[in-house]
Chain A
Amino acid sequence: MYEATDSSLMQAVREGDLGALAILFERHHRSLFNYFVHVNGNRDLSEDLVQDVFMRMLKYRQTFKPDRPFTAWMYQIARNAHVDTIAKRKFEVGLGEKEFAAVNTIDENLKRKQEIGILKRAMAMLPLEKRELLVLSRYQNLKYEEIAQILGCDVGAVKVRVYRAVRALGQIYFELAGQRAS
């Protein structure tokens, strides 16, 4: 039990051992929080969403299937929670650039800092589905297979979509970087 897999813990939750969710929370809340922060740029909102995801896991625990990866199921819930919250709060799909800018608090060398600042602005201007894809594939480092399960498509489609998302980000990023340089 101590080194139980995510899937067996969620199975235990499903069978009524709600306490097993605490271990899953300890394992995943930070990466979920970062997923949301990178997608919406808002720390408070991201904390609300992490809380929401774990409560949804309890509510919809009967929908968990042990033969599918837990991570894919978790991120599916995360995506739904995000979409619902945006709809509820009447957010714009692209969140404010200000929110992304506020996140940057880490000391880095100036050039890298500038690049990351521009990148955050570019991310904020990207459509939500592309931003999500980049966060899952790059920050969360999920495997193609896992992303395919989250999005309900095949691995080949994931590769192409990620490429397109990077390309779209590149167009915005280089435009912003060019404006800055000129």
Chain B
Amino acid sequence: MNCESARTQFVDYWRGTLEDADGEFHAHLASCERCRAEAEDLRDLWSTLGAMPDEDPSMRLRVRFYDSLRTWRQREEQRRQLFGWLRHPAFQAAAALAILVLGVGTGYLMRGRDTTEVSQLRGEVYNMRQLVALSLLQQQSASDRLRGVNYAYRVEQSDPQVLSALLTTVDHDSSVDVRLAAVDALRNFSASPVGRTGLVQALGKQESPLVQIAILDQVVEMHEKAAVPAIQTLISTTGVNPEVKQHAQWALRQLQ
């Protein structure tokens, strides 16, 4: 191996990804003082380069992004609406008349209910809440994930994505506080069979006594008889906190 081809492998050498099965590269470094010195000097520099600290952007960035996204969505929605009839001026008069008749008629029939515009706005706000909840639930910081759980209260109970995110949080979140908050938020989904089953299954996966007790309270509140086998397993499992076992026995009595 000559100096030129050895140097093309320096980056792999620094990264620790060098494949030198036949030892040619290392043999060259051993025999060439210039390459050896350069590889070592620059390796230190490479290492210092990796030690440059990361920075956090300000909160302003997130606020700006969500504002712009909302504006963008509204604009696209408006554009979509406009395209339907503004692009066809020949139908404009007929459409305007039809809309007028339809508007008056619908307004009469739907009086007391939401207007279409209000429904759309409500849908928009709902979508944003769902997004914010889902995004926050994936954050590194426990306080952000807690905020995500709080947002989950504001979405419709039938939302499967938020329900699935909450169940994942109950099963896997590293913070007890976040798991507890997610268990509470699942109360909103008690009408959903998926939510109820998920909560029962979560019982067997929890190790924190606080979370176990919260789930027990909730399955009793929901009269979830399907939880009985899971509660019995909890009672018979060795190592489970005695207070939790006591609470589980109480829960069993309530459900039977």
Task: Write out, one digit per residue, whether chain B residues 147-177 have a CB within 8 A of any chain A CB (1) or not (0).
Answer: 0000000000000010011001000000000
Residues of A with C-beta under 8 A to B134: 2, 22-23
Does any Cβ of B come within 8 Å of A150's Cβ?
A: no
Instruction: Given A1-B161, A119-B48, decide whether A159 and B12 contact each other with a Cβ distance below 8 A.
Output: yes
Does any Cβ of A come within 8 Å of B64's Cβ?
A: yes
Instruction: Given A2-B168, A166-B46, decide whether A23 and B51 contact each other with a Cβ distance below 8 A.
Output: no
Residues of A with C-beta under 8 A to B46: 138, 166
Identify which of A34, A55, A156 contacts B54 (C-beta below 8 A).
A34
Does any Cβ of B come within 8 Å of A110's Cβ?
A: no
Identify which of A19, A27, A112, A116 contacts B131 (C-beta below 8 A).
A19
Does any Cβ of A come within 8 Å of B116's Cβ?
A: no
Question: In the bound complex, do residue B165 and residue A33 qualify as a contact, i.e. CB atoms below 8 Å apart?
Answer: no
Q: Which of the segments A45-53, A63-71, A72-80, A81-89 contacts the partner chain?
A: A45-53
Question: In the bound complex, do residue A26 and residue B164 qualify as a contact, i.e. CB atoms below 8 Å apart?
Answer: no
Identify which of B11, B54, B60 contacts A159 (C-beta below 8 A).
B11
Interface residues on A, range: 35 or more
Task: Write out, one digit per residue, whether chain A residues 16-54 have a CB within 8 A of any chain B CB (1) or not (0).
Answer: 001101110111011001100110000100110011001
Residues of B with C-beta under 8 A to A2: 134, 161, 164-165, 168
Question: In the bound complex, do residue B161 and residue A116 qualify as a contact, i.e. CB atoms below 8 Å apart?
Answer: no
For the complex, count residues of B whose C-beta is within 8 A of A.
48
Among B18-39, those with CB < 8 Å from A are 38
Instruction: Given A2-B134, A159-B12, decide whether A22 and B49 contact each other with a Cβ distance below 8 A.
Output: no
Task: Write out, one digit per residue, whether chain B residues 99-135 have a CB within 8 A of any chain A CB (1) or not (0).
Answer: 0000000000000000000000000000110111011
Residues of B with C-beta under 8 A to A38: 52
Question: In the bound complex, do residue B61 and residue A22 qualify as a contact, i.e. CB atoms below 8 Å apart?
Answer: no
Question: By CB atoms of chain B within 10 A, which of A134, A137, A166 has the most?
Answer: A166
Does any Cβ of A come within 8 Å of B58's Cβ?
A: yes
Residues of B with C-beta under 8 A to A134: 49
Question: By CB atoms of chain A within 10 A, which of B9, B57, B76 has the most?
Answer: B57
Task: Write out, one digit per residue, whether chain B residues 5-16 have a CB within 8 A of any chain A CB (1) or not (0).
Answer: 001111110100
Chain B binding site: helix, strand, loop or mixed by DSSP? helix
Task: Write out, one digit per residue, whether chain A residues 122-165 have a CB within 8 A of any chain B CB (1) or not (0).
Answer: 00000000000010011100000000000000001001101100
Give, as a whole number of angstroms, the nearest-CB distance from A35 to chain B.
10
10 closest A-B pairs by beta carbon, nearest first, are: A26-B135, A106-B53, A33-B57, A22-B131, A47-B61, A19-B131, A162-B11, A138-B49, A34-B54, A18-B73
The residues of B with any CB-CB pair to A shorter than 8 Å are 7-12, 14, 38, 41-42, 45-46, 48-58, 60-62, 64-66, 68-69, 72-73, 76, 127-128, 130-132, 134-136, 138-139, 161, 164-165, 168
Supply 29 A–B pairs (Cβ within 8 Å), ascending by A: A2-B161, A18-B73, A19-B69, A19-B73, A19-B130, A22-B65, A22-B131, A26-B139, A27-B138, A29-B65, A30-B57, A33-B55, A33-B56, A43-B55, A43-B57, A43-B58, A47-B57, A47-B60, A50-B61, A54-B68, A55-B72, A103-B55, A119-B49, A138-B50, A159-B8, A166-B42, A169-B45, A170-B42, A173-B45
